[in-house]
């Protein structure tokens, strides 16, 4: 049970709902989406399952919204990382380095859970589609901006965005099950990106990624 002494006190509905949402995200990141149960959330919050059920009558809906919140937060974090970049080339390099870094492994695991569980949970499947589209749109906008600046050349920026995301997702999925090392394979993503965007070899960096 939660050790927070304020957990069991009466709280305003909006405050309690926010707490349930926050604790649900913690469980998903710590233990995976499959661990997100009524009892688990109640235990983490420090209240009865009945109270959680009052605020979240559908666990399928809670799993979907929890996944969506985690992924949306990651997009916001990456956007903040890219904000100081003065060029689109620098922004793309930063994005590749960030998404293939070990600090993203917990969110990657949540993605893998969602892709798997979404086969049986309609609400989660819908949210997965929403968030995949959001990531594609985010990266496509980066590519389009680079093209407008004359830094990139791409006939179909949307297709390039999907291609890069597919490679990044694949490498990260391998790394989650300890097959390969995503960070060490950043060079592969850079090479593909440079080719697809008309950049000279090494434009996105050629540093040694052999160390974690």
Among residues 78, 105, 97, 89, the alpha carbon closest in space to that of 187 is found at 97
**In 3-121, which ranges are continuous DSSP H helix?**
13-31, 38-45, 49-55, 59-82, 88-99, 105-117
Over the stretch 73-132, which tens digit does the pLDDT of each residue have? 999 999 999 999 999 999 999 999 999 888 888 999 999 999 999 999 999 999 999 999
Over the stretch 43-65, which tens digit does the pLDDT of each residue have? 999 999 999 999 988 999 999 99
9 pLDDT exceeds 90?
no
Tokens of 78: 């990456």
Domains of the chain, start order? 1-57 (1.10.10), 67-212 (1.10.357.10)
Assess contact for 75 and 137: CB atoms under 8 A: no
Question: What's the rounded Cα separation, in Å, for the pair 12 and 49?
Answer: 18
């Amino acid at each position: 049970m939660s050790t927070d002494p304020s957990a069991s006190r009466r709280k305003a509905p909006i405050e309690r709902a926010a707490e349930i949402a926050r604790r649900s995200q913690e469980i998903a990141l710590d233990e995976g989406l499959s661990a997100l149960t009524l009892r688990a959330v109640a235990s983490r919050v420090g209240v009865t399952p009945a109270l959680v059920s009052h605020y979240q009558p559908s666990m399928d809906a809670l799993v979907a919204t929890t996944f969506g919140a985690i992924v949306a937060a990651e997009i916001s974090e990456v956007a903040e990382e890219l904000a100081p970049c003065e060029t689109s080339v620098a922004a793309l390099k930063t994005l590749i380095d960030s998404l293939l870094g070990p600090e993203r492994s917990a969110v990657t695991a949540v993605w893998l859970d969602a892709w798997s569980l979404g086969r049986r949970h309609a609400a989660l499947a819908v949210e997965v589609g929403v968030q995949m589209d959001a990531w594609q749109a985010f990266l496509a906008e980066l590519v389009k901006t680079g093209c407008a600046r004359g830094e990139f050349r791409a006939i179909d920026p949307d297709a390039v965005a999907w291609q890069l995301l597919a490679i990044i997702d694949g490498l990260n999925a391998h790394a989650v099950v300890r097959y390969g090392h995503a960070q060490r394979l950043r060079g592969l993503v850079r090479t593909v990106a440079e080719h697809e965007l008309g950049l000279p070899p090494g434009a996105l960096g050629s540093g040694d990624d052999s160390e974690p």
